[in-house]
Amino acid sequence: MDEKELPGDTTERRSEVRAEDERYYSVQFTTQGLATFYQFKLWNISKKGMCILVKEGSKVLEHIEVGDTLEMTYYLTDSQGAHENLTTEIKHITKNEKGRFEGHYMVGLSIKNR
């Protein structure tokens, strides 16, 4: 996944188990310099954070950095169109160089005002 991962090493390094949180399904946001809103499915959800997958070469990657705080719209799983606007911090941007998500970046999100 990144430079720290050893080839063939599949040991889980996260400090807590990842589980699908039934509350949110996707997130939408824009930032200064982007002409449109972008919507992403949420992945790897835990109590401390979640991530989105962004395709390599996407304009989004040119406009976000680790530490940025953005207002994001989270869409609820159980309610058609229902959403919550939450302040969110970009925690990491990690390139996937192989496997299921090769050619994508995992962008870690942490909700700040839940």
Contact 74, 86 (CB under 8 A): yes
Proportion of the chain above pLDDT 70, given as a percent: 78
Per the structure, how many domains does the chain have? 1
Over the chain, what is the mean pLDDT?
Answer: 82
pLDDT tens by residue, 52-95? 999 999 999 999 999 999 999 999 988 788 999 999 999 999 99
Residue 96 in any domain: the answer is: yes
Give a yes or no: residue 10 inside a domain: no
Tell me, yes or no, whether 58 lies in a domain. yes
pTM > 0.95: no
Which residues constitute the domain of residue 96?
24-111
Asked if residue 14 belongs to a domain, the reply is: no
**Is residue 18 assigned to a domain?**
no
Cβ(109)–Cβ(50) below 8 Å: yes
Residue-wise pLDDT tens digits, 84-105: 999 999 999 999 988 888 999 9
CATH of the domain at 47: 2.40.10.220
1 within a domain of the structure (yes/no): no
